[in-house]
Amino acid sequence: MKTKTIETTFVELEGENDLSDEDKVLLEQARKATKEAYAPYSSFHVGAALRTKHGAVVRGSNFENASYPLCLCAERSAIAAARSAYGSPKIDCMAITASTDKAELSNPVTPCGACRQVLFEVEQIQGSPLKLILEGKNGKIWVLKTVSDLVPLAFDGTFLR
Ligand code: THU
């Protein structure tokens, strides 16, 4: 019997000052996207903004439905929008923010399992890291260099071939 351990590394920033200028812009766009969310059922507003390799910024926000399982997450909305606009762009970075009156959000909000899986696939097909910048309500920011750090023991296309 062997016990195996997987470690994840991420950077915690006290505020946006330690981000590069282009990452600050992306975070600001994610905050804007949070305001564009349609979330009357959960009151949990999520905004995502991604930056392509060529510098285009695309926003996405969650879009809920009275039939709850149909809710669209912000992250996947942004990826679908980017692919609609630009084909299959390489995505260097995605910033994600959230806002709700119902909870503290003292830690940055991390993507749900479904979004992690989709972001992981994006990273696999583009063959380069997709950095994540996650912001909570108290200004704390987490930066993950790659989606892989969020999806240990990931299921991917190699299992199907
Ligand atoms: N949500 C996202 O947009 N992204 C996530 O990664 C987590 C959850 C949305 C879906 C739903 O509209 C609301 O947040 C509450 O789950």
Condensed to tens digits (0 to 9), the pLDDT of residues 55-70 reads: 999 999 999 999 999 9
Q: Which atom of ligand 1 is nearest to the CA of 64?
A: 12
Q: How far apart are the first and last CA of the chain?
A: 29
User: What's the total number of domains in the chain?
Assistant: 1
> Is residue 104 assigned to a domain?
yes
Spacing, Cα 4 to ligand 1 middle (Å): 31
Query: Contacts from 80-85 at CB under 8 Å and sequence distance 24+?
Result: 82/50, 82/52, 82/56, 82/58, 85/56, 85/58
> Is residue 84 assigned to a domain?
yes
Q: Whose CA is nearest to atom 6 of ligand 1?
A: 111
Spacing, Cα 132 to ligand 1 middle (Å): 16
Over residues 105-161, the pLDDT tens digits come to 889 999 999 999 999 999 999 999 999 999 988 889 999 999 999 999 999 999 999
Residue 67 belongs to domain spanning: 19-160
> Is residue 9 assigned to a domain?
no
Tokens 């199907």 -> residue: 160
Q: Which atom of ligand 1 is nearest to the CA of 63?
A: 12
Tokens 């950095």 -> residue: 131
Half-sphere exposure of 107 (CA within 13 A, CB side): 6
